[in-house]
Amino acid sequence: MNALKKPKNIFVCLMITFAVTVTSALGVWQLQRMQFKQRLQATMQSRLSLAPLTLEEFIKLPQTEWRYRRLQLIGQAQSSLPLLLSYQTPRKEVGYLYLSPVKTADQKKLFLVARAFIPWNKKDQPAVLETGHTETFIGIINMPPEPLHLGVWPQPPRQGPWLLPYLDYDQISKHLQQEVWPFMLQSEVPVLAAGWQRHLGYAIQWFCLSAVALVYAFIFLRKKSQLCSGE
């Protein structure tokens, strides 16, 4: 019986083929992610170099061009339950962003403005920021990706800050009883979760695993071929 036709050897060949296919596909996917991050980084740098938008200019701008643009608002920070969003700064400090709903004269929707960073160990004593008077806010429009929902959205407490794991605009609008814009304004330049270099590294790892599987397949088939020749 041909050694290559034995069920055990057929199974090994199928597993090698599967491994090469999967690792190669994952490597290609990581290259696609790398290209996406490169385009995103270029878009961010290009838009950050532009002058801040006025409210009138922002309203006319398509939503696809909002992200990473600077926006200048004249409005009033509303006095409400402190909103603390889980956040990590570019300096790797872990804590919360203190978000204030800001109302402008021309818009019914509220803007969520990040006004301060609070270290995680001081979350129960957030800074008291002034509200109710008209001031100018300038920030970068950031639209953080919404993570997979694995639990129940935290309900606002009776007292103390409302800790938010991520921005759920519907829930925030429901609590504030007024619709909010689907983004936040922050003073710091947003940091991408992973740079394009990391995706390139992942791609190289997957392609290396694919190459290892191909080398193993070559050795395996050569050995079995020699066995068949010796029979």
Q: How confident is the model over 56-101, as pLDDT tens digits? A: 999 999 999 999 999 999 999 887 777 888 888 777 788 888 898 9
pLDDT of res. 208: 95
Residue type, 104: T
Considering all CA atoms of the chain, what is the largest pairwise distance in Å, rounded to the nearest integer? Answer: 93
Q: How much helix, strand and coil, in percent to the nearest 5, is found in the chain?
A: 45, 25, 35
pLDDT band at 211 (very low <50, low <70, confident <90, very high): very high
pTM of the full structure: 0.72
The predicted model gives 114-127 an average pLDDT of: 75
* Cβ pair 199, 30 in contact under 8 A: yes
pLDDT tens per residue across span 142-173: 987 665 555 566 777 777 678 888 888 888 89
